[in-house]
Amino acid sequence: MTMQARPGRHGVIRFPFMIAVLLGLSFTAKDQMCTRAIENLRFKLAQNSLQLMQEGKSSFFADIRMICSVFDEALPLGLHALLALLETKSFIRAFALASQLNQVDVEVKVLPFAQWVSYTNPEGDVPAVNTSYDHVHLLGSLWWMRHWAGAFLADALIAGRQIWTPGGSFHDADSLLNHIHQLQKHSGRDQATVSIEHGFIWHSVLSMNCSSYPAWLAIKWCRIPETLEQPCLHAFGHGVFYSFILREYELKRDDQPTDGYSVCNQLRPFSMNISSQVQNIMFSACEAAPSLEAIAFCRAGVHHSIHLMSSASV
């Protein structure tokens, strides 16, 4: 016996309507699966964050392959899924659960400025928290993971991978960075997009092996509205710092047992003794920036990186 579609009361075929309903349920199920996947990956990221904080090592580089593996799992779900892992309130909830399950008492709060997340540990059993007065920029903190996500995205494009979004996919740094700038325009945006931009730019600058300030690239990427331009130019200061500090350490730290910087082997915060001579070289490199404003923001970015990496800051 064959089943045929019958007209409804008004002569409308029912089967297409039923198919549309089923398709709608199918898409809803996929959305729910994607949401669960993001939640699971976010929790895994929070566990890895806590593990890095408990590491207590003092080597020059930090092995963050565990963080990269989570980013790698999230990437096929799209750029917005990766960004969702790093959303402030959702990540704090995941981190609180990871801390509870691991019986580690780490208190987390959001600071009024830029939605930065601060960590305190009353029990004193988390070395990263208790060896620095700076409780925002700790190894494994949300602040660093957002920057590492930007470096990860830059590295993925360099490797020829596509970055997917609901509106299409990105194959090159120019288009992806432009998309990130568009996200920054939205009211109520999370600070994650600025941090991702910074990591994206410093890793991109490093990959070019620039021996001087890449003025042409700053002009290309940062010729945007002023509110977006300033963080972009600041990021090039980070790029100058990374380029020069790695060159300095490659020359003068022959005893370093690591393989050097990579997207998953990042510089460890508050681990370096940075001489005034090297600092002056970095600040001088900023003089090649394309405008007085660009010079000022480059120098600010260099100064910020020096604070983040210098052992004198703890």
236: in domain: yes
Closest CA to 183 of 79, 258, 97, 103: 79
Q: Which pTM does this prediction carry?
A: 0.85
309: in domain: yes
Range of the domain at 85: 33-313
pLDDT at site 131: 62
Digit-coded pLDDT (tens) for 31-82: 777 899 999 999 999 999 999 988 877 678 899 999 999 999 999 999 999 9
* In contact, 105 and 121? CB cutoff 8 Å: yes
41: in domain: yes
Residue 93 contacts by C-beta under 8 Å, 6 or more apart in sequence?
Answer: none
Digit-coded pLDDT (tens) for 259-276: 688 999 999 998 888 999
Digit-coded pLDDT (tens) for 13-44: 444 554 444 444 444 666 777 899 999 999 99
23: in domain: no
Instruction: Give the confidence band of 128 by pLDDT, cuts at 50, 70, 90.
Output: low
Instruction: Give the confidence band of 195 by pLDDT, cuts at 50, 70, 90.
Output: very high
Angle separating helix axes 14-53 and 65-74, nearest 10 degrees: 170
Digit-coded pLDDT (tens) for 156-187: 999 999 999 888 899 999 999 999 999 988 75
C-alpha distances out from residue 278 to 219, 249, 301, 308, Å: 26, 11, 15, 15
116: in domain: yes
* Beta partners for residue 107, in sequence order: 120
pLDDT at site 108: 86
Instruction: Give the number of other Cβ atoms within 10 Å of residue 156's Cβ.
Output: 18
Asked whether the predicted pLDDT for residue 277 surpasses 70, the reply is yes
Digit-coded pLDDT (tens) for 219-240: 999 998 878 899 999 999 999 9
Distance, in Å, from the CA atom of 308 to the CA atom of 306, rounded to the nearest integer, reads: 5
DSSP H stretches of helix in 208-259: 215-222, 226-252
Digit-coded pLDDT (tens) for 136-153: 888 999 999 999 999 999
163: in domain: yes
C-alpha distances out from residue 82 to 15, 102, 138, 152, 300, Å: 38, 25, 21, 11, 28
25: in domain: no
* In contact, 202 and 177? CB cutoff 8 Å: no
28: in domain: no
Paired sense of beta strands 168-170 and 163-165, if any:
antiparallel
Domain count, the chain: 1
